[in-house]
Amino acid sequence: MKYIVDVNGARLEVEVEADGVRVDGHVVDARLTDVEGTPIHLVTIGNEVHRVASRRGDSRGRYALWMDGYRYEVEALDERMRAIRDLTAADAETTGPRPLVAPMPGLIVRVHAAPGDRVEAGQGLVVMEAMKMENELRTQSVGVVRAVHVSAGMTVEKGALLVEFSQEA
């Protein structure tokens, strides 16, 4: 399984497989042992053993770790969740009308938008099928369609960008 791990702002790619651990493509001899009944873990890297205390953070995948007298803020997410977080962070930084994103994985059935179309808040633009039900996805604000990234028959993952908007001219 591949994880994207941010440690105090530095990003690492960690793959955990049956045959071992790779960090940024390099094989690492690492083992983790829990100390029963405590928040302490023993992390063995090569010949070194480190005592690590951990505490869950305020959201999924976030932890505070104390190791060798230092505190580390860590976020460890699988590839899919990391992509979703990165997408939502990029959304938060954009200005103007919020893009239309897939609220769940599904099949695009119909698209009622084209670049240049003026749309009103609450207007239905994309119909997607998920769990044998059709769901009409609506805009949240007034705007002009900048780009449509899907077409009928496409399958999308949760968080996929469907339609982008620009502010009214």
Sites in the chain below the pLDDT cut of 50: none
The CA angle 120-83-78, to the nearest 5 degrees, is: 145
Render pLDDT for 151-169 as a digit per residue (tens, 0 to 9).
999 999 988 999 999 876 5
pLDDT at residue 169 in the model: 53
Q: What is the pLDDT of residue 97?
A: 80
CATH 2.30.40.10 fits 2-79, yes or no: no
Domain ranges of the chain: 2-79, 98-166
The reported pLDDT for the residue numbered 92 is 55
The one-letter amino acid code at 120 reads E
Pairing of strands 155-156, 40-45: unpaired
pTM of the model: 0.48
Q: What is the pLDDT of residue 95?
A: 58
* CATH dotted code for 98-166: 2.40.50.100
